[in-house]
Amino acid sequence: MDTLKANLELFEKMVLIRTFEETVQSLFQKGAIVGTTHLYSGQEAVATGFASALQPQDLVAATYRGHGHALATGVTPQSLMDEMLGRLTGVCGGRSGSMNVIDLEHRLIGCFGIIGGSIGAATGAAIALARRNGVAIAYFGDGAINQAYFYECLNFAAVRKLPVIFVCENNLYGEYTPWEDVTAGQIRARAEALEVKSETIDGNDVWAVQKAALASFDYARNGNGPVFIEALTYRFVGHSRSDPGKYRKPGELDAWKLRDPLIIARKRLVDEFSFSPQEVDAAEAGVKKRMEEVREQSLKAPSPGLKKLGSEFMELKRTGGGGA
């Protein structure tokens, strides 16, 4: 792919994620989306940068803040928005809600509502991927590194030299708690203690993320074992739909918004890659127009209906399927 085009597409992907999340928030406030939502706004560069290094045989395990991971991996905005609205045409038939999307066709083995659930899923997937030149990637937040299976999985992956990349998206807060209030020492040091190749990167610069991703995938794919990446980033919204974010330090949000991934990317496209401001504006406008079309189509998409859901439940009950 042409390098200039590829750079512009990184920006467009981040705009897509940001606009998707803004649309989700708007629809939620209007009552069109039920349940809860955890938005990825502000962290777009992490998922976009790592997804740019994926190969077809690789697999992705994401978090409950997973809309951005899903879109970056290749899930279509239409099927994902349909899913948010509980439509039959959603990627999971309207049954996953915001937190539990799966799309095996696009390498997404799951978005996990359990804190750090992606870590175990990606480690298990890596056992199989080691036999077919694939790599698994686990996204998780800073809060997950205090879960026991973080250490168990890193240790297992290191001993077995599994092809797995552990990406800690350190957005400074585990829900409402500053990470340093509940975490002793430095996050990266925990992986380094197990002699896992580790790096801390600027998670708001998509090209810095992409550089680290390419190196990490190459390292893991060539039989060297796991990689741990701490991506420093920040969410511009509350933890979930009901969180106004009043626990933030004064001025903190404003300071991080100066390092908005979209602002950083826009500046670099113009200053370094010779795009005109008008070209970048046009690219952004094109993505937003596409999302308007997605929104309208999702609102018109068919719902499963209580009768259909009831009959499916009775069939599962009759056959003993469904699980707990």
At residue 35 the predicted structure's pLDDT band, cuts being 50, 70 and 90, is: confident
Lowest mean pLDDT among 72-81, 176-185, 306-315: 306-315
For 118-133, give the secondary structure using H, E and C.
HHHHHHHHHHHHCCCC
Confidence of residue 323 (pLDDT cuts 50, 70, 90): very low
**Are 103 and 91 spatial neighbours (Cβ–Cβ below 8 Å)?**
yes
| Cα angle, residue 288 at apex, residues 287 and 289 outer, rounded to 5° | 90
Torsion of CA 71, 74, 75, 76, to 10 degrees: 90
Mean pLDDT over the full length of the chain: 91
Q: Residue 302: its pLDDT value, please?
A: 92
- For 16, the token pair is 């897509």
Contacts of 200 (CB under 8 A, 6+ apart): 188, 229, 230, 231, 232
What residue type is 92 in one-letter code? C
pLDDT of residue 236: 86
pLDDT band for position 37 (cuts 50, 70, 90): confident
Work out the angle at residue 22's Cα, subtended by the Cα atoms of residues 21 and 23, and round it to the nearest 5 degrees: 90
16 pLDDT higher than 50: yes
* Segment 145-192, tens digit of pLDDT: 888 889 999 999 999 999 999 999 998 876 767 677 667 788 999 999
- Contacts for 67 with CB less than 8 Å, ≥ 6 apart: 17, 20, 21, 24, 39, 40, 80, 84, 98, 101
Per-residue tokens: 316: 């599962």
| Segment 192-214, tens digit of pLDDT | 999 999 999 999 999 999 999 99
pLDDT at 314: 59
Q: Summarize pLDDT for 105-131 with one digit per residue, the tens.
A: 999 999 998 888 999 999 999 999 999
Residue 2 is predicted with a pLDDT of: 80
Phi, psi of 53 (to 5 degrees): -100, 0
pLDDT tier at 324, thresholds 50, 70, 90: very low
Of the CA atoms within 13 Å of residue 219, those in its CB half-sphere come to 21
In the chain, the percentage of residues whose pLDDT exceeds 90 is: 72
Mean pLDDT on 40-69:
97
Least confident piece of the model among 42-46, 278-282, 312-316: 312-316
Find the range with the poorest average confidence among 81-85, 229-233, 241-245: 241-245
Kindly list the domain boundaries of the chain, sorted by start residue.
3-174+186-236+249-319
Q: Is 76:103 a contact under the CB 8 Å cutoff? A: no
Q: What is the pLDDT of residue 3?
A: 86
CA distances from 112 to 76, 124, 178, 247 (A): 19, 14, 22, 25
Name which CATH class applies to 3-174+186-236+249-319: alpha beta
